[in-house]
Amino acid sequence: MSDPATSKAETPDTQPVPESAENFGDILSQYQKSHSRKTEGSRQLQATVIAVNAESVFFDIGYKSEGILPLAALQGETLNPGDKALVTVKGRDLDGYYELSRFKVERPMDWTALEKSFAGKTTILGTVTGLIKGGFSVDVGVRAFMPASRSGVRDAAEMENLVGQEIRCRIIKLDVTDEDVVVDRRAVAEEEERSAKDRLYSQIKEGETVSGTVRTLTDYGAFVDLGGMDALLHVSDIAWGRVNKPVDVLTVGQSIEVKVLKVASEGDKRRISVGLKQLQPHPWDAVSANFKPGERVRGTVTRLMEFGAFVELEPGIEGLIHISEMSWSKGKIRKASDIVKPGEVVEVIILQVNPAEHRISLGLKQALGDPWADVAERFQVGSAIEGPVTNMTKFGAFVQLSEGIEGMIHVSDISAEKRINQPQDVLRVGEIVKAQVLAIDVEKRQIRLGMKQLVPTGLDEYIAEHNEGDVVTGRLMDDSGGNARVELGDGIHATCKVKAAAPTVPETPKESKADLSSLTSMLQARWKSGSGGPAKTESVRSGQVRSFRIAKLDRAAKKIEVEFA
């Protein structure tokens, strides 16, 4: 039976009257109104929103006092002043407002009402009165039992807080004879949560911007609470720049705005994907204005591939250094990690920009400068070099002169003493060799080298042993006039200006030509002594052995000029 004091406090349209004016009819009418107000939870009222603040929505429910509903009870739904909504009166709070619910619930008043609710599996109101073994005692018009497993709470603190609260529950067992009633709050809460998610899911549209709260963080992304339903913010959609871990950018509890990318359902599973970076300008929209071919820029190596390395020039903008653009040295680079490492800051030259395909080609070797630009000054023809053998082919060996500069020694220029079929017969990769620069072609980026040219010859020894002015003996090789060739020794030749007459030595008898050993011995004796000059004057003829004076000795060019002595 209702408490008169409570009934009076809950009757906003009842005014106190003097005792003299009171009669039995008034008291009865007041009781009936009070009793009917206690049962208002069994029906829904059409209410009008009159105000909304940060925590609650205020309704005009037709009473002198307004009704109040927590914003959390809307579960994502938005209400504005003037909107209509169906509500149920639960009771009154300490400030005099009527506490409202969006759910149509009943508070059974007798066993007949309990049987009706049990049969119809309807949701009813009850009040948790205490903790007992295995669960809670609940007042649903009669004393009922609610198992702890069906309460919807887990730890001891939550269980204690539930005592004294009004709950929505469902009768799952009813025995009138034994007055045994068992109720379930968890099933109702799960249904309400599922209903709220269904309503929220139907309201979310792809492409719209929504507010949410970061609930949890993982290595692959973040789960964002959109007001009752979680959405996945993948790590790749957090920022245009590379994000290694979401925890580096986001924090649990942080409020963010995101764009709905995809809303999908797979059976009973519903998935919502959202993006944070999509609310920011796309960095590639301005790439043509910010990066020009030929410019020198700095960036950070983000990842290595077999074909090259990716470099982040600014957040969201990456360029590729192809392995062929990493070094001027041919064959030296087998993989990108030989040159750069992830996290390394490098200077590069922009080679090409393709905004449509989101591609920027970069050059690392170009930033270091072209080593062939001054190769002719650094390695002059005739000079000697020293370097390691970097590669070998059938026709020759490649030698590194400096970073990015290689020369080739043809197999015919390796040795003067013997025939070499292939360079591998006498050389090995990594071996340090000495060679002479024979020719340079800057346009073709080719340098020809020779090893045999640095091996001392009979000419080298002859030049080293003689000086200008020395008188030597030699054989005229021709008498065509002008400049004649003179043989000073085996493989040693000089030029001589031939005049009309000159002192001669007796010609060697023709029959002695067959005795080559005697002639060689005589020439060697005369070349060494410088003697054996002619005894009489005779015309110049090919084959004559005569005395000559060295007029010019060019040691660098290895050239000798003589005149008749």
Q: How far apart are CA 406 and CA 378, in angstroms?
A: 13
Which of 253-256's residues contact partners 24+ apart within 8 Å by CB, and which partners? 253/213, 253/214, 254/213, 254/214, 255/211, 255/212, 255/213, 255/214, 256/211, 256/212, 256/213, 256/214, 256/224
H helices of 3-129, where?
4-9, 24-38, 111-120
62, 64, 70, 71 alpha-carbon torsion, rounded to 10°: 60
In order of 154, 183, 193, the CA distances from 158 in angstroms are 7, 18, 19
Judged by DSSP in three states, 432 sits in strand
Q: How far apart are CA 143 and CA 134, in angstroms?
A: 15
Cβ-proximal residues to 449 (8 Å cutoff; 6+ apart), any chain: 385, 399, 407, 408, 409, 413, 435, 436, 437, 438
Q: What is the DSSP letter of 211?
A: E
Cβ-proximal residues to 85 (8 Å cutoff; 6+ apart), any chain: 46, 47, 49, 59, 79, 102
Output the CATH code of domain 467-564: 2.40.50.140
pLDDT, tens digit (0-9, with 9 covering 90-100), for 128-170: 989 999 999 998 888 899 999 999 888 888 888 888 888 889 9
The answer to whether 328 and 370 have CB atoms below 8 angstroms apart is: yes
Q: What is the pLDDT of residue 170?
A: 93
Amino acid at 3: D
CATH 1.25.10.10 is the classification of domain 283-368: no
In the block, tokens 């043989």 appear at: 487
The answer to whether 264 and 289 have CB atoms below 8 angstroms apart is: no
Q: Residues spanned by CATH 2.40.50.140 within the chain?
A: 4-101, 111-191, 204-279, 283-368, 375-454, 467-564
238, two tokens: 């957090």
- 3-class SS letters over 451-465: CHHHCCCHHHHHHHH
Strand intervals (E) in 111-229: 124-132, 135-139, 143-147, 166-175, 180-184, 209-217, 221-225
358, two tokens: 């989101």
Q: What is the pLDDT of residue 345?
A: 93
57 strand-pairing partners: 52, 69
Q: How far apart are CA 144 and CA 165, in angstroms?
A: 15
Amino acid at 61: I
Which of 223-226's residues contact partners 24+ apart within 8 Å by CB, and which partners? 224/256, 224/258, 224/274, 226/76, 226/200, 226/272, 226/274
96-113 as b/e, with b when 16 or more CB fall inside 10 Å?
Answer: ebbbbbbbebbbbeeeeb
Phi, psi of 487 (to 5 degrees): -95, 115
pLDDT, tens digit (0-9, with 9 covering 90-100), for 521-558: 555 555 554 444 444 455 777 888 889 999 999 887 78
Three-point CA angle 243, 244, 250, nearest 5°: 60
Cβ-proximal residues to 184 (8 Å cutoff; 6+ apart), any chain: 146, 150, 169, 170, 171, 172
Among the listed residues 314, 315, 341, the one whose alpha carbon sits nearest the alpha carbon of residue 326 = 341
- In order along its 565 residues, the chain shows pLDDT tens digits of 334 333 333 334 434 444 444 444 454 344 334 433 344 444 578 899 999 887 889 999 888 889 998 887 776 678 889 999 888 777 777 778 888 877 655 566 678 888 898 999 998 888 898 999 999 999 888 889 999 999 988 888 888 888 888 888 999 999 888 889 999 999 988 888 887 777 778 778 888 998 889 999 999 999 998 877 889 999 989 988 888 889 988 999 999 999 999 988 766 677 889 999 999 888 888 888 889 999 999 999 999 998 999 999 988 899 999 988 888 776 567 788 888 999 999 999 999 999 888 899 999 988 888 888 888 888 888 889 999 998 899 999 999 888 888 899 999 898 877 788 889 989 999 999 999 999 999 888 899 999 988 877 777 788 888 899 999 999 988 766 678 888 888 778 899 887 654 444 444 444 434 344 444 555 555 555 444 444 445 577 788 888 999 999 988 778 899 998 8
Q: What is the DSSP letter of 187?
A: H
Q: What is the pLDDT of residue 75?
A: 65
Q: What is the pLDDT of residue 100?
A: 83
Question: Cα Rg for the chain, rounded, in angstroms?
Answer: 53
559 strand-pairing partners: 554
Judged by DSSP in three states, 253 sits in coil
The answer to whether 208 and 200 have CB atoms below 8 angstroms apart is: no
CATH 3.90.180.10 is the classification of domain 375-454: no
The answer to whether 437 and 407 have CB atoms below 8 angstroms apart is: yes
167, two tokens: 């709950």
Number of H helices, E strands in the chain: 10, 32
Q: In the CATH hierarchy, which fold is given to the domain comprising 204-279? A: OB fold (Dihydrolipoamide Acetyltransferase, E2P) (2.40.50)
Please state the CATH superfamily assignment of the domain spanning residues 4-101 in this structure: Nucleic acid-binding proteins (2.40.50.140)
**What CATH class does 111-191 carry?**
mainly beta
Q: What is the pLDDT of residue 103?
A: 65
